[in-house]
Amino acid sequence: MASKSSISSKILKKAKKELRSEIEALMSAMSPEDRITQSSDVYNQLINHELFQKAKRVSIFLSMPEELNTIPIVKKIFEQEKKCFIPRIIFGSQRMDMVLMSTAEEIDALPVGKYGLRQPATVETEAIESGGLDLMIMPGVAFDKEGHRLGHGMGYYDVYLKRYKEHFGHYPNTIAVAFKQQIVQSVPVGPNDVTINQVLHQENQN
């Protein structure tokens, strides 16, 4: 007979899978104009946010075509002379590092790799090992207004955040950027899911 915890785990996994499918369908139906409008709106919210304005060390994900466009955010980070860190994932494990980049042009020149991701080939300066982060700008599939986040199921960000807390004794400030289609009433979460500070989307004004 299966234990209660294993049954609960199966239910949680199924709920997350179903929600991912629902959100991905909504996002695939978005028009290019809607993507541009919402990306611009969230960009303006972020760059005027107190946490972003005060941050000197920022990590940012490089958006995939279906995600909210983060390239203008990357450019603003360098324009304001902040230190910019981007993810580097070791596939087949849960290892992710946040790697310091020198210029926006260096990021533009990164080759497209597995799953269409662009990332550095090596880790020269990692965020945790070089002083931490003032702000982590995070991706995800779905979010609720309590800061619960549904990722793609690999656990890279949750594992990284826990590693960060083990090193510094606290989490970094975290802000997710998302389309309004990604905001739901409730995200199913388990004990290993880390809550984020805030989600910026088109209907969320500071």
pLDDT bucket at 204, cuts 50 / 70 / 90: very low
Give the Cα separation of 175 and 86 in Å (integer).
Answer: 15
What integer pLDDT is reported at residue 85 of this predicted model? Answer: 98
Q: What is the per-residue pLDDT across 139-189, written as a single tens digit (0 to 9) for each?
A: 999 999 999 999 988 889 999 999 999 999 999 999 999 999 999 999 998
pLDDT(25) > 60: yes
Q: What is the mean pLDDT of residues 39-60?
A: 98
Give the Cα separation of 135 and 88 in Å (integer).
Answer: 17
Q: What is the mean pLDDT of residues 23-39?
A: 96
Q: What is the per-residue pLDDT across 58-93, written as a single tens digit (0 to 9) for each?
A: 999 999 888 999 999 999 999 999 999 999 998 888
Q: What is the per-residue pLDDT across 114-147, written as a single tens digit (0 to 9) for each?
A: 878 899 988 999 999 999 999 999 999 999 999 9
What integer pLDDT is reported at residue 4 of this predicted model? Answer: 39
pLDDT(6) > 60: no
